[in-house]
Amino acid sequence: MNYKQQLEVVQGLFIPPDTTIRLDCPFCSGKNTLSVDTTNNNIKWHCFHASCSAKGKYQGEKDMDYVNATFKKKEESSDIEFKIPDSFKILDSNSKAKKYIHKNNCWEAWSWGRADIKYDVKQDRVVFLIRDNEDPTTFVGAVGRALNSITYPKWYMYGNKDVPFKCGLPEHKEAIIVEDCASACAVSNILTGVAILGTSLKESHKQYLKQYDKIYVGLDRDATKKSYDIANELKSYGLQNVHVKPLSDDLKYFNTKEIKEMFNGGENEKR
């Protein structure tokens, strides 16, 4: 069997993502000799039976979980203090960074102090600082968006990778899960945006979301299935007022007035 045929057989086993298992080999019928690993968005298979040629690797599309796993050298412990790098300069120091936040409706959130946005001169990124969930006066990390097409990955996480970037006002009763920091800023005058950055929902996201009366899931148009999966995950976590918000475009392309219309006046809505 060639690689392609083997891959089809292994895919036909329907092993869920992020799983490492041993099973009977469908190629040589060896008892428990086939190892399959679906972590990091790969499918790797290998049979331990000496005369069996089952072996291969399929690399799925690289998502943020994969990028993070590859790029971070060592899992930084969340209790290590995050120090803002010296290369983070004020936003005004770079015109591309300023242009980015204008074009992506972050300007208002930045100028009203709802978001802390800087420019990383070393990596040529516009960076969104992440505040601690419990103590908003402390920064625990940052998320940087590349400002040129050659910088990879497009989004880079500094410091703590578990605490979400969020942007909003303390009086907000509603929150929305969005794809990226710019979208979180764009909605932040009306409701609190929580960016998941292509990762799966983490425990700290769920913990943080518990304080809201109503939660929307508003991922990109092409992530509709993921939106429903996340909504279901939140519901099974015990959050009941969870709704998938159908979007005609990324939230970062809408201004506050349009966001307000979209959410029916948001928290000003009579309940």
The contact set with Zn ion (CB under 5 A) reads: 25, 27-28, 30, 47, 49, 52, 54
Distance CA 224, CA 271 (A): 28
As measured in angstroms, the least distance from the Cβ of 24 to Zn ion is 9
Distance CA 24, CA 19 (A): 16
As measured in angstroms, the least distance from the Cβ of 36 to Zn ion is 12
Amino acid letter, residue 166: K
- Would you say 25 or 140 has its CB closer to Zn ion? 25
Q: Is 134 exposed, middle or buried (0-12, 13-18, 19+ CB in 10 A)?
A: exposed
As measured in angstroms, the least distance from the Cβ of 28 to Zn ion is 3
As measured in angstroms, the least distance from the Cβ of 44 to Zn ion is 14
What is the number of alpha carbons within 13 Å of residue 127 lying toward its C-beta?
27
Instruction: Check the CA dihedral 237-243-248-249 and report its sign.
Output: negative
- Would you say 29 or 138 has its CB closer to Zn ion? 29
- Would you say 37 or 76 has its CB closer to Zn ion? 37
Which among 10, 13, 73 is positioned nearest to 45, based on CA atoms? Answer: 10
- Would you say 49 or 89 has its CB closer to Zn ion? 49
Which among 78, 70, 74 is positioned nearest to 160, based on CA atoms? Answer: 78
Q: Are 164 and 194 in contact (CB under 8 A)?
A: yes
- Would you say 36 or 230 has its CB closer to Zn ion? 36
In sequence order, what are the beta bridge partners of 167?
193
- Would you say 27 or 128 has its CB closer to Zn ion? 27
As measured in angstroms, the least distance from the Cβ of 66 to Zn ion is 27
As measured in angstroms, the least distance from the Cβ of 93 to Zn ion is 59
Structure tokens at 231: 């909504």
As measured in angstroms, the least distance from the Cβ of 53 to Zn ion is 8
Amino acid letter, residue 139: F
Distance CA 113, CA 229 (A): 33
- Would you say 10 or 101 has its CB closer to Zn ion? 10
Distance CA 70, CA 76 (A): 14
